[in-house]
Copies of this chain bind each other. A is one copy, B any other.
Amino acid sequence: MPAPLENPLVRDRDVELLLHEMLDVSALCRLPAFAGHDRETFDMYVASARRLAREVLFPAFKPMDEAPARLEGGRIVAHARMKEIWPRLVELGAISATRPASVGGAALPITVAAMAHAYLMAANASAYGYAGLTNGAAHLLEAFADEPVKRAFMDRLYRGEWTGTMALTEPQAGSSLADVTTKAAPRGDGTYAITGAKIFISGADHDLAANVVNMTLARVEGAPAGIKGISLFAVPREREEHGALVPNDVHVAGVIHKIGWRGLPSLALSFGDQGDCRGWLVGEPHRGLAYMFQMMNEARIMVGLNAASTASVAYHEALAYARMRPQGRPAYAKDPASKQVPILAHADVRRMLLRQKAIVEGSFALLGFASLQADLAEHAAEGAERARARLLVDALTPIAKSFPAEWGFEANALAVQIHGGYGYSSEQLPEAWLREQKLNSIHEGTTGIHGLDLLGRRIVAGGGAALGALGEEIETAARRAEAAGVEGAWIAAVRAASGTLASVTATLGQRGLAGDVEGMLLHSTDFLSLASITVVGWLWLWQASIAKSALARGASGDDIPFYEGKLHAAQYWIATELPKTELLARLCVEAESSYASMRDAAF
């Protein structure tokens, strides 16, 4: 078996390019929210996360994959390595990095935290998962809970003394949150009696911290049917009584044997089997789903970031393997006694690697840009700028979540393929990352649901303003590319794709307005692909401009091949991926009818 390879998880130089040369995150320091920061403090946080990822999280990945968290006597026992990791994540500040100092956070931009946390996710998605979920739960409380509920739960979550979960899914409801049936009955003391069952609740039990707070969707008795009758509750595993923690009648009903993310148990929970489970209402009744949705962009960007990171670590493994593994000779070599060449010399291996690179670095650029808009939507000085950023991050979120998940899965499969027979064994890591990746097209909304969300709501938001803002961004990049002397054909191709996206959106939007909602949405996954390829093409054009300018100014040393690599990846994406938008547009516009017009019995 080949020896383990050096793996950077994420390319440091790429993070530097994204944060500083592309997104200019230091400019955020001019805003009051980030006034305590400068480039140095940003880079310090990235460096700390990177070190923790490489030294602590990554070495624990395979052991945690091989020995999943297990159920013993009704309680989950986490992997021993996780007990070392959790305090280190807390110490880094991974839970509260992006929250203000008032709640104990470091007030970092999401953009900076995202690229720092990418290392943690690439190293060990399960381990980071505990921090990500705890952040999500605490942030929900911060945004919507009243003071006593915040004090009871939020502070301890942000401090990592307890951990949090999102308890949305139910067995009979799955993606259809309108069908949630968990019940909440007022107890007269301000709390609610919770009864019901949830499934796929990640991290809902473990022995890493003293308590777990489940942010739980439930219906208050007499609430209207559908999504307008759902409320949000904090339902701790244990509740405080007289200063001590006592069981809150929340039980682990089963463990899902997931094919990846094995360090983070996914559980079936039951609430109130003994009629003694109490929940604390968060915010107003019946507004639970609205609260959740307000936090969902961040959760979805986090899923996309995980997907990009999982593709990244596999890409770097495959690249290291391809440089090291000798096999065969070039097509023109005739002498069988000549030395074998590293497989990086073979054209098809190069194709597979460049495709991975284009997907991985394209995904990070997408996630970086979307994160920056999230920061601006919250903190920009001008209301108009905040509103525009909000439209952009809303429109980009389904893409930022789904593109890295779908294309990333393909990238992960290519990493297995490059490893050949070794890739098909669990002695090597690529197969594990392929398993990890598959979750990302399913959780936080399946790809199909994000297609519906993008086309049915987000891209047509603001009467076309979202699409308009996106078009402006693409045009800005095109002008920048012209100024940098980037190949005219590339610029024209990106502009054409952007035009196609706009006209397809208009056509489909009109179809919907005319009452043909089914016809509008028939190819919404194809529309999502069309939008994704176009957006990533724009971001590659942008990166190409930076590279072209840097090379023209006289880059040196390792920067030369780094920038050249950006140009090759941009060329690859524009030549081989961008043209696919034409077909996708045709399918959408013509409402290609093969599966719509088919009777069920004909499948």
Chain A residues within CB distance 8 Å of chain B? 169, 172-176, 178-179, 199-200, 225-228, 256-260, 266, 319, 323, 326-332, 336-337, 340, 344, 346-354, 357, 409, 413, 416-417, 420-421, 423-427, 431, 434-435, 438-439, 441-443, 446-448, 451-452, 456, 517-518, 521-525, 558, 561-562, 564-565, 568-569, 571-572, 575-576, 579-580, 583, 586-587, 592-603
Check if B331 sits within 8 Å of A521, measured CB to CB. Answer: yes
Determine the residue in chain B with the shortest Cβ distance to A426. B257
A571 contacts across to B, CB distance below 8 A: 593-594
* Residues B572 and A595 in contact, CB atoms below 8 Å apart: yes
Whether A425 and B348, one on each chain, are in contact in the complex, defined by CB atoms closer than 8 angstroms, is no
Contact (Cβ within 8 A) A583 B576: yes
| Chain B residues in 8 Å Cβ range of A200 | 421
Cβ contact within 8 Å between B583 and A448: no
When the two chains form their complex, are residues A427 and B576 in contact, meaning their CB atoms are under 8 A apart? no
**Which of the residues B352, B564, B580, B599 comes within 8 Å of A580, measured between beta carbons?**
B580
Contact B443 A417 (CB under 8 A): no
> In the assembly, what is the distance between CA of A597 and CA of B331, in Å?
16
Contact (A525, B351) CB under 8 Å given A257-B426, A331-B517, A565-B598: yes
- A290 to B587 CA separation, bound complex (whole angstroms): 47
**Cβ contact within 8 Å between B564 and A347:** no
On chain B, the residues within 8 Å of A175 by CB distance are 327-328, 420
Q: Are A600 and B344 in contact (CB under 8 A)?
A: yes
Q: Which of B179, B354, B522, B601 contacts A598 (CB 8 A)?
A: B354
A565 (CB) vs chain B CBs: closest residue: B602
Q: Are A603 and B420 in contact (CB under 8 A)?
A: no
- A575's partner among B441, B594, B600 (CB-CB below 8 A) is B594
Asked if A592 and B565 make an inter-chain contact with CB atoms under 8 angstroms apart, the answer reads no
Tell me the minimal C-beta distance from A432 to chain B in angstroms: 9
Known: A256-B427, A524-B347, A599-B561. A421 touches B442 (CB 8 A): yes
Nearest-neighbour CB distance to chain B for A112, whole angstroms, equals: 27
**Are B441 and A596 in contact, with the CB atoms below 8 A?**
no
A417 CB contacts on chain B under 8 angstroms? 441-442, 446-447
Q: Is B442 in contact with A423, judged by CB distance below 8 angstroms?
A: yes
Contact B348 A524, beta carbon cutoff 8 Å:
yes
A438 lies within 8 A of B413 (CB): yes
- How far is B268's CA from A181's CA once the two chains are assembled, in angstroms? 54
User: Which residue of chain B has the shortest Cβ distance to A413 in the bound complex?
Assistant: B409
Compute how far the CA of A523 lies from the CA of B572 in the bound complex, rounded to whole angstroms.
Answer: 13
Chain B residues whose C-beta falls within 8 Å of the C-beta of A416 in the assembled complex: 438
Determine the chain B residues whose CB is within 8 A of the CB of A420 once the complex forms: 174-175, 442, 446
**Residues of B with C-beta under 8 A to A357:** 603
Name the B residues within 8 Å of A179 (CB-CB). 328, 340
| 21 A–B contacts, CB within 8 A, in A order | A169-B421, A176-B340, A178-B328, A179-B328, A200-B421, A225-B336, A227-B336, A228-B336, A256-B424, A259-B424, A347-B522, A354-B598, A420-B442, A424-B442, A431-B435, A565-B598, A568-B595, A568-B598, A569-B594, A575-B594, A576-B594
Within 8 Å by CB of A576, from B349, B447, B579, B592, lies B592
Contact partners of A517 in chain B: CB under 8 A: 331-332
Cα A439 to Cα B431 with chains together (Å): 11
Contact assessment for A597 and B576 in the assembled complex, using a CB-CB cutoff below 8 Å: no
Q: A328-B175, A347-B521, A452-B331 are in contact. Are A431 and B594 (CB under 8 A)?
A: no
Q: With a CB–CB cut-off of 8 A, which chain B residues contact A598?
A: 350, 354, 564-565, 568
Residue of B nearest to A350 (CB): B595
**From A520, which residue of chain B is reached at the shortest CB distance?**
B331
Rounded to whole angstroms, the CA-CA distance of A446 and B423 in the bound complex is 12
A174 to chain B: which residues have CB within 8 Å? 327, 420-421
Please report the C-alpha to C-alpha distance between residue A10 and residue B259 in the assembled complex, in whole angstroms. 26
**How long is the Cα–Cα vector from A447 to B420 in the complex, in angstroms?**
10
- Complex formed: what's the CA distance from A576 to B580 in Å? 11
A327/B426 contact (C-beta < 8 A), A226-B337, A337-B225 known: no
- Give bound CA distance, A327 to B600, whole Å: 16
Cα separation A413 to B18 with both chains bound (whole Å): 32
Contact A258 B413 (CB under 8 A): no
- Please give me the residue from chain B that is nearest to A587 by CB atom: B576
**A318 to B200 Cα, complex, angstroms:** 20
Contact yes or no, A347 B518, CB < 8 A = yes
Write the chain B residue with the least CB distance to A577: B583
Are B327 and A176 closer than 8 Å at their CB atoms? yes
Nearest opposing residue in chain B for A593, CB measure: B571
Please, how many angstroms separate the alpha-carbon atoms of A524 and B452 in the complex? Answer: 36
Interface-central residue, A169, A266, A424, A447, by most chain B CB under 10 Å: A424
Name the residue of chain B whose CB is nearest to the CB of A322.
B603
A328 to B174, CA, bound (A): 9
Q: How far is the CB of A597 from chain B (nearest CB, A)?
A: 7
Please name all residues of chain B whose beta carbon is closer than 8 Å to the beta carbon of A442 when the two chains form the complex. 417, 420-421, 423-424
A586 nearest CB neighbor, chain B only: B579
- Asked if residues A424 and B594 are in contact (CB atoms below 8 Å), the reply is no
Take A340-B176, A421-B169, A452-B331 as given contacts and tell me if A592 and B575 are in contact as well, using a CB distance cutoff of 8 Å.
Answer: yes
CB-CB nearest in chain B for A592? B575
Residue of B nearest to A522 (CB): B347
Whole-angstrom distance from the CB of A204 to the nearest CB of chain B? 14
Task: Closest B residue to A316 by CB, please name it.
Answer: B603
Taking the closest CB of chain B, its distance from the CB of A341, in whole angstroms, is 10
Give every chain B residue within 8 A of A329 (Cβ-Cβ).
Answer: 176, 178
Cβ-closest 3 pairs across A and B:
A226-B336, A348-B448, A565-B602
CB distance from A86 to the nearest CB of B (A): 24
In the bound complex, residues from chain B placing their C-beta under 8 Å from that of A572 are 594-595
